[in-house]
Amino acid sequence: MAEAFSEPVPFDPQRLGPGVNTPAQEYLPSLTAEANTLVFTRVVNGQEDFYVSTKENGEWQRALPLEEVNTPFNEGAQAISADGKTLLFTACNRPDAVGRCDLYLSEFKNGKWTPVRNLGEPVNSRAWESQPSLSGNGRELYFASDRAGGRGEKDIWVSSRLPDGRWSQPRNLEEINTSGDEKTPFIHPDGQTLYFMSEGHPGMGGFDLFYSRLGPNGKWGKPVNLGYPINGPGDEGLLVIALDGKTAYFASNRTDLPGGRPADGPVADYDIFTFELYPEARPQPVTYVKARV
């Protein structure tokens, strides 16, 4: 990847303000379609919980805990639906668990979030399931798992919603997965562009961000490294792209980013950043129409 360092891609990240980033760790951002609500994971005293910030007059407001969903257990690795009414997330070692870590769901109804429920099998298995991403039409669920039948230790899988509302047997994304780890999938609302992290494809070191486009044959194309300096010597976190196809959010522990900061220990803290994605790596812009019933 030496040529990547000599041909850097445009990258001007900005650290989100104090409404989102704090001395604690913040990571795994997720957006509603209108890009005015940001849900993310924050770690306070070793406890992972969800926080929500809304954008007003161009500024992200002070994030508040999602108290109806947060519990004494750890919650994290969430995804919110385009309309902001479905929250999918990961929780581990709960009494109703199928495996080590499972995917759970809560819906926003009548002004509040419903009690969470385990998605159950076949999405969840005896293994580890995490990092869900829901397609814009709500019909495809992408996630990471170390279940049997994969190519590496952690792979990306997809399950389709059946006509009766159940989820299909997950399918391994063989075109994307390697003998290494692939995780943090994000399917853009265009339904054609998938962003993810990998240590198995050629990269800059650690986990790098890649994208792949769905071809007319229904197969995912060869993954493309997002390039330097988006990818650097540290680990990049989940990348999400707004409907406009160019506004990106991601978390990173790199100290070379504007506003990046070292932790008290040997590992830097994660913060959430935004930047404009360069044209070649953008998905198709999507228009979201809010329906009224």
Dihedral sign (CA 13, 17, 19, 23):
positive
197 backbone dihedrals φ, ψ, rounded to 5°: -105, 145
pLDDT in tens, 134-187: 999 999 999 999 999 999 899 999 999 999 999 999 999 999 999 999 999 999
Instruction: Tell me the pLDDT tens digit for each residue of 229-282.
Output: 999 876 667 899 999 999 999 988 887 787 655 555 445 688 999 999 999 999
Beta bridge partners of 172: 157
Task: For each of the domains in the chain, give its residue range(s) and CATH number, in order of start.
Answer: 2-281 (2.120.10.30)
Cα 50–Cα 53–Cα 57 angle in degrees, nearest 5: 175
**Side-chain-facing half-sphere of 123: CA atoms under 13 Å:** 30
Q: Which residues are bridge partners to 75 per DSSP?
A: 91
pTM reported for the whole predicted model:
0.92
pLDDT cut 70: percent of the chain above it? 92
Which pLDDT tens digit goes with each residue over 15-45? 999 999 999 999 999 999 888 999 999 998 8
